[in-house]
Amino acid sequence: MAHPLHAVIAQTEQVILGKPRQIRLALTCLLARGHLLIEDLPGVGKTTLAHVLAKTLGLQFQRIQFTSDMLPADILGVSIYQRDSGEFKFHAGPIFAQMILADEVNRATPKTQSALLEAMEEQQVTSEGETRPLPTPFFVIATQNPTNQIGTFPLPESQLDRFLMRIQLGYPDAQAERGLLAGIERRDLIANLKPQMETAELMALQKQVRQVLVSPALLDYAQAILRHTRESARYVHGLSPRAGLSLLAAARAWALLDGRNAAIPEDIQAVLPGVASHRLQSVQDVHTSDGDKLARELIEAVAIP
Amino acid sequence: MKLNAALTFGLIACILLVSAPHAEHLPLWISTVCVALLAWRAYLTWGGYPLPARWLLLSVTVACVLAIAVTFRTLFGREVGVALLILLSTLKLLELKAVRDATVLIYLSCFIIITNFFYSQSIPTAMFMLLTLLVIMATWVHMQTGTLALRPRLRIAIVLLLQAIPLSLIIFVLFPRVQGPLWGMPQDAYATSGLSDTMAPGSVSKLSLSDAVAFRVAFNDTVPLREQMYWRGPVLWDYDGMTWTRGNNATLRQPTLSDTSLPVDYTVTLEPHNKRWLFAMDMPAKISISAEMAPDFQLLSRRPVTARTRYDASSLLSYRASLEEPPQQLQRALTLPQGYNPQARRLAAEWRVQSDSPEALIRTALAYFNQQEFEYTLEPPPLGINGVDEFLFETKKGFCEHYAGSFVVLMRAAGIPARVVTGYQGGEFNELGGYFIIRQADAHAWAEVWLRERGWVRVDPTAAISPERIQNGLSSALPDNAALPFMARNPSEWLRSMRLNWDALSNQWNQWVLGYNTERQFAFLTRMGMEEITWQKMALNMLAGIALLVGVFTLVMLRRLAARRTDAVQAAWLKVCRKLEKAGLPRAPHEGPMDYAARIAAAHPDLAEDIYDIAARYASLRYGGEAEQDGLPAFKDAVRAFKL
């Protein structure tokens, strides 16, 4: 039943080499109707991943390169006075697309960032008193440079929470890198990609995700994880209820991606690094943000009830 | 369970809190060394530095023990034991390496809690120790649970302490009490201020600066007037020109009371004062504990009063005392040292000629004190060899011991048998508790004269100079700027009532917690309906009560566990896990069924099919919403059939 998804994954893996887990997480995020934050160094393939996904899924794609002099109107659009008709006409901004790549989102000022994040949250844009809905499906992949780089406005914690997941790509392993260096130019590869799925099909899958079963036993496990983050002295704050909802939504999507119609603890464990790493902060080392390690520790600390 | 910095800080806090009250009585160097060692330990933890080397620790330990041996000149006894315990516990922190060491420190802290009660058993001490116990428990929970945050850690500790309350109540009520105070066992002569059996100028006024409680009195029905409340202590007969002493009674005959009326019954709770005498109001007739009555109506206990003592007594306010005093005793009551105080003797001789009866002479003497310019003060000028002369004719400033002493000298010089009585006068009424508090500041001295028809009659010369002292207490009798214990003044109504409420609470604590002795235990248990109480019976009841409580707790816990275990699916799955665990492949607590199956399959390819099947069935039943009646039998069969 998840055949078209397999095709999507297979095609993406041909371009993005050696990152099957990250690809699946990105798709999970999309299926769970969340937004994705990719945080890594420049040049590891963040943009390529977004591009490939858009192409493969057959979604309208817009890339917004964030800069420090960007204004909210540059994203949302602006009404311009038409001399001949004597009226204001709304010129839609780049956000009116099904898939947005918000590149280097932490280079923009907080004001511009929050314009994007509000649009993400509401799935609509309000400008000059008029509310305009954004297309569906609507999926934002934001990329962010590591926050200790110069000239960045790191997203505050409350904004990070709007992203369902944050993943890191990391350097490819030797074999994948060899393939990358020896192979065809990625740009050409992308240009030749064919959509593997209809938009309607994607939306049906999104609906299906919501019907994946979460049993009371699994809820116990999810709650045990949330409780542990709140009671443990390891973390600055525990996970919020919204994080709990995100965790379950992502686990459902992961289960569907795996071809199951019920979520199991392994699904929660698979998505937990993506869902929890940007929401948890270790007490001991506030500056390094090795969220994956933290999430791994969290998994190992909580017994499955 | 791992030792981390937070746990080490917790242990440091435990030792610090539990040892802190000991600083009051330990030699200063021990406290200083302990604080230095704790600070050193905290610094090492904070910076993540290694612990000191073994030889260094060993030499510090040997040096400390030697220093203690030198300071106390022994290595045995309560004081030394406490000092050693605290120093060595502190040193133990410096070799904190394994979890075992931390456990030892937790137990040591609990033990040091007990030692604090050797020195003080007051409510604040108990509260502080309860708080300390909470910190110790929280640290212990921390040790057991690893990374739990402070708040849930404290919650568990509080729950544990709350669960301990019913158990400790049972043990408190039913544990067979030994006669005598447990804490007083090693008889240390700790100095307490109180009345002594000698009186010299300044000895009573010195006491007036102490607001320590001497004893508390609850009257059964009639409450006498304040000016009738003369609490009789040591009676002083012998005078050497400077100091009054008790001397030796010339008779062993019991004193007699006749023409008595106005009986008063009351209960005294006497604070320990390390002397033998017991206090009762003039004139004592009966006392509920075994005590002897000296020929001068002084009550003496068999042993020094080293623990808080409670007794019922009854007194007679109107009496004729010892009408038939033996002549040797009367002779003692007339003796004056030769060659001292000539002026006073001359004055007394004049009075004797002028007066036609002893009563008239006493009136003259009191009138003399009243009409001359005598002053009642806490800070009288020092007196020389002929102290009474100097006081009567020059300085004219004195406290009650000056008046009582000089009055008796005058009486004896005039040929009237007289003696000094010391004790307490008055008291403060606590309305909340319904009892009187008699403090050291209420210490007083007065005189008794023997008249042929009336026996020993109390005469209080202080009343002639300062009637307010007798009617309203010390603070009203002194000028406002006199140095007085803070508590003896009436600073403000609010503070006064606070103090009285606090004292009422302490009194309840003394009576029912500390004073819960064999006698009270029997009375209480009888009222609860126990018959023919023996210690065996109490012990059995106690064990039964504990067993019952532990049983109830166990049942509650078992039910909670059962609620978790009744899940048949889970039980079958755990069976598989146990089978595999025996084969050396235990499931990690966080490992999901499919991951576990994959791991087993990798390790034992021959089992792969079976274990995947079982894991899938389990996942389907537990997480996949499959109904138990459909899937459970097959799952159980698969589990039963599963063999390694």
- Out of B589, B590, B622, the one facing A217 most closely (by C-beta) is B622
Sort strands A139-144 and A36-39 into parallel, antiparallel or unpaired: parallel
Checking if the pLDDT of B130 tops 70, the result is yes
Q: How far is residue B508's CA from residue B519's CA, in Å, rounded to a whole number?
A: 16
Average pLDDT over residues B275-290: 88
* Identity at B34, one-letter amino acid code: C
Q: Is B400 a catalytic residue?
A: yes
Cβ neighbours of A263 in B, within 8 Å: 623
Sort strands B244-245 and B238-239 into parallel, antiparallel or unpaired: antiparallel
CA distances from B166 to B111, B126, B170, B614 (A): 21, 17, 6, 47
String of DSSP letters for B329-371: HHHHTT---TTS-HHHHHHHHHHHHH-SSHHHHHHHHHHHHHH
Average pLDDT over residues B124-148: 89
Cβ neighbours of B623 in A, within 8 Å: 213, 215, 217-218, 262-265
B332 phi, psi to nearest 5 deg: -60, -35
CB contact under 8 Å between B619 and A264, yes or no, is yes
Q: Which of residues 589-628 of B touch A (CB under 8 A)?
A: 589-595, 619-620, 622-625
In chain B, the residue whose alpha carbon lies closest to the alpha carbon of A266 is B592
Average pLDDT over residues B237-248: 86
- What pLDDT was estimated at residue A286? 55
Cβ neighbours of A303 in B, within 8 Å: 589-590
DSSP code, position B488:
G
Q: How far is residue B547's CA from residue B555's CA, in Å, rounded to a whole number?
A: 12
Which member of B400, B442, B503, B610 is catalytic? Answer: B400
Give the model confidence (pLDDT) of A126-147 as tens digits. 877 788 888 888 999 998 877 6
Checking if the pLDDT of A104 tops 90, the result is no
Q: CB–CB of B290/B309 below 8 Å?
A: no
Q: How many residues does chain B have?
A: 644
Cβ neighbours of B589 in A, within 8 Å: 303-304
Burial of B567 (0-12, 13-18, 19+ CB in 10 A): middle
Tell me the Cα Rg of chain A: 20
* Residues contacting B135, CB < 8 A, separation 6+: B10, B13, B14, B17
Share of chain B above pLDDT 70, in %: 94
CB contact under 8 Å between A233 and B588, yes or no, is no
Q: How far is residue B287's CA from residue B297's CA, in Å, rounded to a whole number?
A: 12
- Out of A230, A233, A304, the one facing B592 most closely (by C-beta) is A304
Q: What is the mean pLDDT of chain B?
A: 85
Q: Which of residues 172-231 of A touch B (CB under 8 A)?
A: 213, 215, 217-218, 230-231
Average pLDDT over residues B553-566: 79
* Residues contacting A185, CB < 8 A, separation 6+: none
Other CB atoms within 10 Å distance of the CB of residue B550? 11
Cβ neighbours of A300 in B, within 8 Å: 588, 590
Q: CB–CB of B309/B337 below 8 Å?
A: no
Checking if the pLDDT of B64 tops 60, the result is yes
CB contact under 8 Å between B6 and A233, yes or no, is yes
Cβ neighbours of B620 in A, within 8 Å: 262
Share of chain B above pLDDT 90, in %: 26
Is the Cβ of A300 closer than 8 Å to some Cβ of chain B?
A: yes
- What pLDDT was estimated at residue B67? 93
Q: Is B442 a catalytic residue?
A: no
Give the model confidence (pLDDT) of B266-280 as tens digits. 999 988 888 888 999
Number of Cα atoms under 13 Å in the Cβ half of residue B476: 9
Q: In angstroms, what separates the C-alpha of A206 from chain B's closest C-alpha?
A: 20
CA A241 from chain center: how many Å? 19
Q: Which residue has the higher pLDDT, A289 or A186?
A: A186
* Identity at B191, one-letter amino acid code: A
- Out of A231, A266, A305, the one facing B148 most closely (by C-beta) is A231
Cβ neighbours of B6 in A, within 8 Å: 233
- HEC assignment per residue over A140-183: EEEEECCCCCCCCCCCCHHHHCCCCEEECCCCCCHHHHHHHHHC
CA distances from B171 to A167, B40, B582 (A): 60, 41, 44
Choose, out of B590, B599, B621, the residue to mutate when testing the contact with A (most A CBs < 10 Å): B590
Number of Cα atoms under 13 Å in the Cβ half of residue B418: 28
Q: CB–CB of A241/A194 below 8 Å?
A: no
- What pLDDT was estimated at residue A246? 93
Q: How far is residue B449's CA from residue B366's CA, in Å, rounded to a whole number?
A: 13
Domain ranges for chain A: 3-200, 212-301
Q: Which fold has domain A3-200?
A: Rossmann fold (3.40.50)
The CA angle A232-A233-A234, to the nearest 5 degrees, is 90
Q: Is B590 a catalytic residue?
A: no
Cβ neighbours of B590 in A, within 8 Å: 269, 299-304
Partners of B316 in beta bridges: B263
pLDDT band for position B190 (cuts 50, 70, 90): very low
- Out of B150, B588, B620, the one facing A233 most closely (by C-beta) is B150
Checking if the pLDDT of B547 tops 50, the result is yes
Q: Which residue has the higher pLDDT, A288 or B333?
A: B333
Average pLDDT over residues A103-130: 85
Q: How far is residue B297's CA from residue B249's CA, in Å, rounded to a whole number?
A: 11
Q: How far is residue A2's CA from residue B443's CA, in Å, rounded to a whole number?
A: 98
Average pLDDT over residues B474-486: 61
pLDDT band for position A183 (cuts 50, 70, 90): confident
DSSP code, position B511:
I
DSSP code, position B49:
P
Q: Which residue has the higher pLDDT, A43 or B158?
A: B158
Q: How far is residue B538's CA from residue B541's CA, in Å, rounded to a whole number?
A: 5
Which member of B442, B460, B503, B610 is catalytic? Answer: B460
- HEC assignment per residue over B206-275: HHCCCCCEEEEEEECCCCCCHHHCEEEEEEECEECCCCEECCCCCCCCCCCEEEEEEEEEEEEEECCCCC
The CA angle B19-B126-B82, to the nearest 5 degrees, is 30
CB contact under 8 Å between B590 and A264, yes or no, is no
Q: Which of B280-294, B403-417, B480-494 has the lowest mean pLDDT?
A: B480-494
Q: Which of residues 235-264 of A touch B (CB under 8 A)?
A: 260-264
- What pLDDT was estimated at residue B486? 54
Q: Which two tokens stand for residue B152?
A: 């849930």
Q: In angstroms, what separates the C-alpha of A55 from chain B's closest C-alpha?
A: 34
- HEC assignment per residue over B404-462: HHHHHHHHHHCCCCEEEEEEEECCEEECCCCEEEEEHHHEEEEEEEEECCCEEEEECHH
- What pLDDT was estimated at residue A76? 87
Q: Which residue has the higher pLDDT, B190 or B294?
A: B294
CA distances from B391 to B140, B220, B243, B381, B400 (A): 67, 42, 15, 9, 12
Cβ neighbours of A252 in B, within 8 Å: none
CB contact under 8 Å between A232 and B625, yes or no, is no
Is the Cβ of B566 closer than 8 Å to some Cβ of chain A?
A: no
pLDDT band for position B189 (cuts 50, 70, 90): very low
Range among B59-63, B556-560, B574-578 with highest mean pLDDT value: B59-63
Other CB atoms within 10 Å distance of the CB of residue A142? 29
CB contact under 8 Å between B147 and A266, yes or no, is no
Q: How far is residue B29's CA from residue A230's CA, in Å, rounded to a whole number?
A: 45
Look at the alpha carbons of B349, B351, B353, B356 in this order and tell me if their dihedral is positive or negative: negative
- What pLDDT was estimated at residue B183? 45
Q: CB–CB of B436/B427 below 8 Å?
A: yes
CB contact under 8 Å between B592 and A265, yes or no, is yes
- What pLDDT was estimated at residue B106? 94
Checking if the pLDDT of A187 tops 70, the result is yes
Sort strands B309-321 and B299-301 into parallel, antiparallel or unpaired: unpaired
- H/E element holding B291? strand B291-293
pLDDT band for position B191 (cuts 50, 70, 90): very low
- What pLDDT was estimated at residue B33? 94
- What pLDDT was estimated at residue A164? 92
Q: Which residue has the higher pLDDT, A233 or B589?
A: B589
Q: Which of A228-242, B241-255, B533-547, B594-608 has the lowest mean pLDDT?
A: B241-255
Is the Cβ of B588 closer than 8 Å to some Cβ of chain A?
A: yes
* Residues contacting B356, CB < 8 A, separation 6+: none
Q: What is the mean pLDDT of chain A?
A: 85
Range among B44-48, B74-78, B383-387 with highest mean pLDDT value: B44-48
Number of helices (H), then strands (E), belonging to chain B: the values are: 23, 19
Average pLDDT over residues B18-45: 92
Checking if the pLDDT of B181 tops 70, the result is no
- Out of B589, B619, B625, the one facing A303 most closely (by C-beta) is B589
* Residues contacting A1, CB < 8 A, separation 6+: A259
Q: In angstroms, what separates the C-alpha of B102 from chain A's closest C-alpha?
A: 19
Please give the class, per CATH, of domain A212-301: mainly alpha
Cβ neighbours of A217 in B, within 8 Å: 622-623
Is B554 in a helix, a strand, or coil? helix
Helix %, strand %, coil % of chain A (to 5) = 50, 15, 35
- What pLDDT was estimated at residue B488? 52
pLDDT band for position A289 (cuts 50, 70, 90): low
Cβ neighbours of B624 in A, within 8 Å: 213, 215, 260-262, 264
The CA angle B534-B515-B76, to the nearest 5 degrees, is 90
- Out of B149, B591, B620, the one facing A231 most closely (by C-beta) is B149
DSSP H helical segments within A19-168, as ranges? 20-31, 46-57, 72-76, 110-122, 157-160
Other CB atoms within 10 Å distance of the CB of residue B591? 21
Average pLDDT over residues B249-260: 79
pLDDT band for position B86 (cuts 50, 70, 90): very high
Choose, out of A254, A264, A284, A302, the residue to mutate when testing the contact with B (most B CBs < 10 Å): A264
Checking if the pLDDT of A254 tops 50, the result is yes
Q: In angstroms, what separates the C-alpha of A225 from chain B's closest C-alpha?
A: 11
- What pLDDT was estimated at residue A1? 45
B312 phi, psi to nearest 5 deg: -95, 145
Q: How far is residue A261's CA from residue B619's CA, in Å, rounded to a whole number?
A: 12
Choose, out of A213, A220, A231, A272, the residue to mutate when testing the contact with B (most B CBs < 10 Å): A231
Q: CB–CB of B136/B109 below 8 Å?
A: yes
Angle, helix B628-641 to helix B608-622, in steps of 10 degrees: 150
CB contact under 8 Å between A233 and B594, yes or no, is no
Range among A205-214, B116-125, B378-387, B626-635 with highest mean pLDDT value: A205-214
CB contact under 8 Å between B623 and A304, yes or no, is no
Tell me the Cα Rg of chain B: 37
CB contact under 8 Å between B588 and A300, yes or no, is yes
Is the Cβ of A233 closer than 8 Å to some Cβ of chain B?
A: yes
Checking if the pLDDT of B531 tops 70, the result is yes
